[in-house]
């Protein structure tokens, strides 16, 4: 199973959004949120994790297409 940081998942979902020729404003309207909320979600802001996955579902991205989020912080041990 592939685990990616939330920022990378946001990049992939942003790619799906662009492939479908949808703007952040259009997605915000679909979800009933503001464009800055969509922007924060696509940037991988942890407080917008649920919004990011709502965007993915709205775009028709299956669980298989959006890798799982890595909840733990990367180790800084050397």
Note the pTM of the prediction, 2 decimals.
Answer: 0.77
Per-residue DSSP letters for 35-53?
A: HHHHHHHHTT-GGGHHHHH
Query: pLDDT tens for residues 22-32?
Result: 999 999 999 99
Neighbours of 53 (CB within 10 A): 17
In the chain, where are the structural domains located? 3-61
Query: pLDDT tens for residues 12-25?
Result: 899 999 999 999 99
CA dihedral 65, 71, 77, 78 (to 10 degrees): 10
Query: Which architecture, in CATH terms, is 3-61?
Result: Orthogonal Bundle (1.10)
Q: What distance in Å separates the CA atoms of residue 41 and residue 7, rounded to the nearest whole number?
A: 9
């Amino acid at each position: 199973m592939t685990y990616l940081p939330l920022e990378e998942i946001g990049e992939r979902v942003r790619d799906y959004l662009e492939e479908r020729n949808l703007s952040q404003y259009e997605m915000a309207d679909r979800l009933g949120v503001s464009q800055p909320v969509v922007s924060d979600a696509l940037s991988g802001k942890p407080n917008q994790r649920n919004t990011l996955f709502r965007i993915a579902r709205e775009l028709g991205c299956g669980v298989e297409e959006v890798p799982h989020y890595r909840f733990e912080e990367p180790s800084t041990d050397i």
